[in-house]
Amino acid sequence: MNSHPPGLVVDDLARRFGRRWAVARVSIEVPPATVLMLTGANGSGKTTFLRCLATALRPHHGSVYLNGQNTWTERAETRAAIGFLSHQSRLYTDLSATDNLRMWAAMGGRTDNIEALLERVALPATRRDPVRTFSAGMKRRLSLARTLLGRPKLLLLDEPFSAFDPEGQDLVRSVVTEARQNGATVIITTHVPHLAAQVCDIAAHLNAGRIQWTGSVAERLEWQPS
Amino acid sequence: MSVILQSIAVARKDLLIEWRSPSRVSGILFFALALLLMVAFTTDASAATLRKQAGGALWLGMLLASTRSLDLSYAIETEEDALEGLVLWPVDPRAMFFGKAFANTTILFLVASALTPLAIAIFDAPIYGSVTHYVAFLALGSAALAAPGTLYALLTARARSASVLLPVLLFPLVVPALIAASRGTSLAMEGDLMNQAPSWIKLLLLFNAVHWSLDALLYGRIVEDG
């Protein structure tokens, strides 16, 4: 019988590189339709934590459950439910925006409306140009569209506001709001809490791979890491 | 979504990238052509001897050019870390292997086909034997280079000295296939009076059966550990 609550359950998760523990025994629960803001200094383990959740890295200790399923042991199934916006664009730069999304959709068996998705991230005029000619912000918009293919149940956004202009930052916030309304669990890592505060429900702070602080978003805006 | 449909989607993606930016085919074609010219004009062989060397020279060019082609097939995946995106996408690792190996086979076959009239002209070696056998040797030889090549190119894709490592790993492995393809191609060019071609075709079929099945299984383990 499934004993884990719906949403994301991180149970005593740890991951090391060599002898250094990048993530050290982190436990946290994020219910469905909830947005977690994860802050932390450079090297605090935010990206490693997200990569463990996305099943890009095998945890060295502990487990992650998404809607009751162990994400690592059942990764073939859970990967279909995870959308991960990473630092790299993960795009094919010789292809156009439309071709990129079509190819990713075809490979994953997604049936999303590609044109609508491009409109959603405001890339209609450039859809035929190769991605190689895109600015960093445009690539980021397209990566975001790729992440949204298949309406993931767990949305992992690693520094989603970086490389975006104010309109792009609004776009990220509206995408997060929409995902939450659709019942998705969302985790946003950021160095700048006030950018994400508007759309987040709870907050946590990582320090040297450990959760140093958890609380509400309003409390996080008041709290200063020591 | 079945492995077959996913494989088609992955192959389509690789071939579309090649179609949009055909630098790989043109690059390896000229590389292989340079090798053919070197073999033809730097040896002091008679016209009859040169004619006998045509099949071997063609496959020597293909072997050396294939390492560059296989390298480039992963350069498109590592440029923006699309490879990790693909691993985290709901794509069966076997489909990744079959798709990429099929695309690599197609590209190598196209290069071998384009080299054929040039080899005929340079070595004065028209196809006196069976054209069907000739095409079969090009196709089976290309597939025999592509299957283990796709696996080993993945192994070396993230290594700093990938272009050195790949030939070191690949060349010893494909010697039997290379001998069979060279001998078979020569027989198809010179005329197969002793009906030896079917034996070489059987050897190539066996080599392909082993590598296309075994390498597909190994690919999943390697790509997950990347």
Q: In chain A, whose CA is at the least distance from the CA of B21?
A: A94
What is the pLDDT, as a whole number, of residue B114?
Answer: 95
Check CB contact under 8 Å for A56 and B87.
yes
**Structural domain includes residue A135:** no
Residue-wise pLDDT for B19-37, tens only, equals 998 888 888 999 999 999 9
For residue B226, what pLDDT is reported? Answer: 55
Tell me the chain A residues in contact with residue B13 when contact means C-beta distances shorter than 8 Å: 92, 103, 106-107
CATH number (domain holding residue A15): 3.40.50.300
Q: Domain count for chain B, please give it.
A: 1
Contact B81 A54 (CB under 8 A): no
Q: Quote the domain boundaries for residue A83.
A: 8-92+146-222
Rounded-to-integer distance, Cα B88 and Cα A54, Å? 7
Distance to chain A for B79, nearest Cα, Å: 8
What is the number of alpha carbons within 13 Å of residue A214 lying toward its C-beta?
10
Across the interface, which of A86, A90, A95 has its CB nearest the CB of B20? Answer: A95
pLDDT at A188: 97
Question: In this prediction, what percent of chain B has a pLDDT beyond 70?
Answer: 99
pLDDT of residue A76: 87
Chain A nearest-CA residue for B220: A76
Contacts of A90 in chain B (CB under 8 A): 80-82, 84-85
Residue A118 placed within a domain: no
The side-by-side arrangement of strands in the sheet containing A20-30 is A20-30, A8-17, A61-66, A69-70
DSSP result, B58-87? HHHHHHHHHHHHHHHHHHHHHTTTHHHHHH
ipTM value, please give it. 0.88
Put simply, whether B13 touches A (Cβ < 8 Å) is: yes
pLDDT of residue B164: 83
Measure in Å the smallest separation between the Cα of A89 and chain B Cα atoms: 6
Query: Residue A165 falls within a domain, yes or no?
Result: yes
d(CA B63, CA B65) in angstroms, rounded, equals 6
Taking CB atoms and an 8 Å limit, are B80 and A79 in contact across chains?
Answer: no
Distance from CA of A217 to the nearest CA of B (A): 30
**Digitized pLDDT (tens) for each residue of chain B, 226 residues in all:** 689 999 999 999 999 999 998 888 888 999 999 999 998 888 777 888 888 889 999 999 999 999 999 999 999 999 999 999 999 999 999 999 999 999 999 999 999 999 999 999 999 989 999 999 999 999 999 999 999 999 999 999 877 777 788 999 999 999 999 999 999 999 999 988 889 999 999 999 999 999 999 999 999 989 887 5
| pLDDT tens per residue across all 226 residues of chain A | 457 889 999 999 999 999 999 999 999 999 999 999 999 999 999 999 999 999 999 999 999 999 999 999 999 889 999 999 999 999 999 999 999 999 999 998 888 899 999 999 998 777 789 999 999 999 999 999 999 999 999 999 999 999 899 999 999 999 999 999 999 999 999 988 999 999 999 999 999 999 999 999 999 999 888 7
Give the B window 80-119 contacts with A, CB below 8 Å.
80-82, 84-92
pLDDT at residue A50, rounded to an integer: 97
Does B2 reach chain A within 8 Å, measured CB to CB? no
Q: A43 lies in a domain? A: yes
Range of the domain at B68: 3-225
Q: Is A55 within the bounds of a domain?
A: yes
| Count of structural domains, chain A | 1
Q: Residue B103 has what pLDDT?
A: 97
Q: Which helix (H) or strand (E) holds B16?
A: helix B3-20
**Residue A216 maps to a domain:** yes
pLDDT for the residue A1: 45
Determine the pLDDT at residue A124: 77
Residues in chain A: 226
Q: Residue written as tokens 């196209």?
A: B110
Given a contact cutoff of 8 angstroms between Cβ atoms, the answer to whether B52 and B80 are in contact is no
Provide, as residue numbers in chain A, all residues whose Cβ is less than 8 Å from the Cβ of B81: 86, 88-90
Residues from chain B that touch A130, judged by Cβ atoms under 8 A, are 20-21
Strands A61-66 and A69-70: antiparallel
Give the gap in angstroms from C-alpha B151 to the nearest C-alpha of chain A: 20
B81:A88 CB<8 A: yes
